[in-house]
Structure 1
C-alpha cells in the first residue's frame, strides 16, 4: 500500500483517507499487514459473490476467516458481499446462501457494502432487491449502506 501511495506525488492536504477493501479470501490481510497500514486507511472485508461457486468446505473456511477479520477494530466496512448475476445462473442460489451465512456477523460499526450486479443488458433489479430483502432480516434501518457495482435504474433504487 505504501508503495502505491508513494508512486505519485500527492499533496498532503489532498490525502485525507481511504478504504482498502479485501473481498478475496485468498488475499485477506494478515494482522501484521493491518497494523502496518497508514492510520488514514480504513479496511473493508467481505467475500465477493463469485466465490460462492467453491465447495461448501471452502466457503465455510472463507466465512470463518471473514468473521475473524471482522473482530479487528480497523475493519469499518462489511463487504463487499451480495449478488453478482454476471456469474452463471447455476451459482446464484449459492450466492444467496453465502450472503445468509455472512450477514449475522454485521455490526453497527460496519458500513455494509452490497455488491449488486445484474445480468448483462439487465437493469439488475433482482440483484439489487434480493440483498435488500435480507437486509430487512439482519440490518437495522439506520445502518449505512454502500451500493457497489449497482447496475440498476431509478426504479430499483426507489424499490428498496
Structure 2
C-alpha cells in the first residue's frame, strides 16, 4: 500500500499517456494519488481527472505563482470546485520567495485569504513553502483556524520541522531525499516520527534516483518510500503502510 500524496497529473506533461502513467502507478503498488491544481484551469482539470479515475483524488487552490491574478470571482469558483466529491484538500497554497512570480506582499495576503477559505470549506491545507520558511511559520502560527494539513515538499531543517509538527502539520517527503546532497532532508526524515510523515512525487518534477533527469510519475513514489524506510531503519512495507494511513486520515480517503 502506498499513497502519492502530491502529484500534478493535470499538467500537459501527462496529456499523451495519462492512462499509462496511472496504470504503472497501480502496478507499482500505489493505491491512491492526490493530484493538485495550481490555478483555476488546472484545478478544474484536476477534478475532472479525479472523477475519471477511481484511484485519483484532487486538491484545489491557487499556487503562490498564480495569486497575482486572483479576482473577486476566483474564490467563488474555488468554492464550487471544492464541493466536488473527490476533492480532499485545499492547496497548494503558500509562499514562493525563490521565483517571486507574484509580488511578495500579494503572496502573503492571498495566503491568509486562502487559509480562511480552507477553514470555511472544512478542508485540510497543502502548504507550498520555498525560500520563505520564516514567513510561512509566522503566518501558520498566527492563523486562528484549525491547523491541519501538510507541508508539501519539505525543504527546511529539523528545527522548522519540529515547529510544523507542533502546529499540527504533517511533513511530506519528496524524491529529493534520494539526492546525494540532501543531507538536511535526510536528517529530518531520521528525526521526525513516521506517524507524521507522508511521501510524494510532485510529478512531473523532482524525480528520485534512479530515474533522476527523467519525467517523474507516481509509480516512482516507491523509491522515495524505500529511502525513507532505510533512513528510519524500518521495513519498506511498514513505512509504506504508516505513511499511507497518515495520508488516508488527513485526506479522508477510504482504502
- TM-score, scaled relative to structure 2: 0.49
Runs of 4+ deviating beyond 4 Å: none
**Which structure 2 residues correspond to residues 1-160 of structure 1 after superposition, within 5 A?**
3-6=17-20, 10=24, 12=27, 14-29=29-44, 33=48, 36-54=51-69, 58-88=70-100, 91-107=103-119, 110-118=123-131, 124-134=132-142, 136-140=143-147, 143=148, 145-160=149-164
Corresponding residue for 1:121? none
CA RMSD of aligned residues (A): 3.1
User: For structure 1, which runs of at least 5 residues remain unmatched after alignment?
Assistant: 119-123
- TM-score, scaled relative to structure 1: 0.74
Query: What number of residue pairs does the alignment pair up?
Result: 148
How many Å separate the matches in 2 of 1:147 and 1:126?
14
Q: Deviations for 1:53-76, whole angstroms, at most 9, x for unmatched residues?
A: 33xxx4333222212211112100
How many Å separate the matches in 1 of 2:62 and 2:162?
26
How many Å separate the matches in 1 of 2:145 and 2:163?
18
User: For structure 2, which runs of at least 5 residues remain unmatched after alignment?
Assistant: 1-8, 10-14, 165-255
